[in-house]
Amino acid sequence: MEYRLFGRTGVRVAPLCIGAMNFGNPTDEAEAPHIVDRTLDAGINYYVRHRQQLQQWRE
């Protein structure tokens, strides 16, 4: 996975983001940790919990 700098923080994040706003509903609460585990195994380390949060980062 090729990582990119997250703004001026010095933190390196994956170019792919996982939207976690559906965890719990409609995604079954028991399935959410398995999804996170699979994405971490794939090298994805960037998660967004709320649609509003994602929109703010795009601006």
Looking at residue 25, its pLDDT comes to 77
Looking at residue 39, its pLDDT comes to 93
For the chain, the structural domain boundaries read 15-58
Quote the radius of gyration of the chain (alpha carbons, Å): 13
* CB contact at 8 A, 44 and 14: yes
Successive 10-residue mean pLDDT values, the chain, 59 residues: 92 90 81 91 87 60
> Structure tokens of 42?
């794939």
Q: How many C-alpha atoms does 9 have within 13 Å on its Cβ side?
A: 7
Looking at residue 10, its pLDDT comes to 94
